[in-house]
Amino acid sequence: MNLCALPAFADNYLWLLHDGRRAIVIDPGEAAPVLEALAAASLKLDAILVTHHHADHTGGVAELRQRTGAPVWGPAREVLPFDCTRVGEGDRLSLLGLEWQVLEVPGHTAHHVAYVCEAVTLAGQTAPVLFCGDTLFSAGCGRLFEGTPRQMQDSLDRLSALPGNTQVCCAHEYTLSNLRFAREVDPANAALAAHEQRCIAQRGQLLPTLPSTLEVERQINPFLRCDDAAVMRSVVAHSGCPPDRLSVFAALRSWKNSHR
């Protein structure tokens, strides 16, 4: 299998998974980069998966379906600008000869879903692959447009409980700005500092910093580390919130919203 992050708009990635003949695309906010990638490698589009209703994740679906005939799956309870097969918590899909599981991960939007492909062999290594849309970002998490801090923290806990080697395919390249914020929150975290240096080098060559892995995210992502003593101390000192995991998460999310 091959996994490609197709850049779109200012900082989106349209993820394309293919076996050299057939492909799946996740969250095609625009059609052109996907059509170009399909044509360049002579791929047939087998399926379109959508995580949530925002236009930068759905804008290319109608054209792609019209041009390729590929079927579309999307979250059961979101308003979407096209017909599709609706999926929700615990649904299983068999696509591209692989087993997929749907998780409901509300917070960024009210009914956001994530897709986990259970065992994908990429460059000789077999690991789960997670397409998490705008829920989890490398060193960060999505804004809470429709959900509560509790919902988002529950969603991130579920993603964080997946195996450590899970390849994390986020829908935006926000990593460097997330890392700048994370270093302010968690300045003594050596793994975080080392990861920032690696990502700066990758971006210097215009390479994606993604996929990340859950093992890395559990070490460096402050939003997954709200019960870490250093993160908790730092957020409580900054915002004066109570020293419990949920209050720390809510205060950390607010702090990030105003961070420049």
Query: Applying CB under 5 A, which residues contact Zn ion?
Result: 54, 56, 134
238 is catalytic: no
Q: Which of 18, 108, 112, 195 is catalytic?
A: 108
156/165 Cα distance (integer angstroms)? 16
Q: Which of 18, 53, 172, 195 is catalytic?
A: 172
Q: Which of 18, 57, 111, 195 is catalytic?
A: 57
134 is catalytic: yes
53 is catalytic: no
Taking the complex as a whole, the smallest distance from the CB of residue 26 to Zn ion amounts, in Å, to 12
Taking the complex as a whole, the smallest distance from the CB of residue 137 to Zn ion amounts, in Å, to 10
**Is the Cβ of residue 56 or residue 186 nearer to Zn ion in the bound state?**
56
| Token representation of residue 47 | 């399926």
**Is the Cβ of residue 129 or residue 171 nearer to Zn ion in the bound state?**
171
Are the beta carbons of 186 and 225 closer than 8 angstroms? yes
Give the DSSP H or E segment for 31: none
56 is catalytic: yes
Taking the complex as a whole, the smallest distance from the CB of residue 168 to Zn ion amounts, in Å, to 15
**Is the Cβ of residue 54 or residue 225 nearer to Zn ion in the bound state?**
54
| Token representation of residue 211 | 């996929």
Residue with structure tokens 């923290």?
Answer: 153
Cis peptide before 75 (omega within 30 of 0): no
108 is catalytic: yes
111 is catalytic: no
State the Cα angle at 41 between 131 and 35, rounded to 5°: 65
Are the beta carbons of 88 and 75 closer than 8 angstroms? yes
Q: Catalytic residue positions? A: 52, 54, 56-57, 108, 134, 172
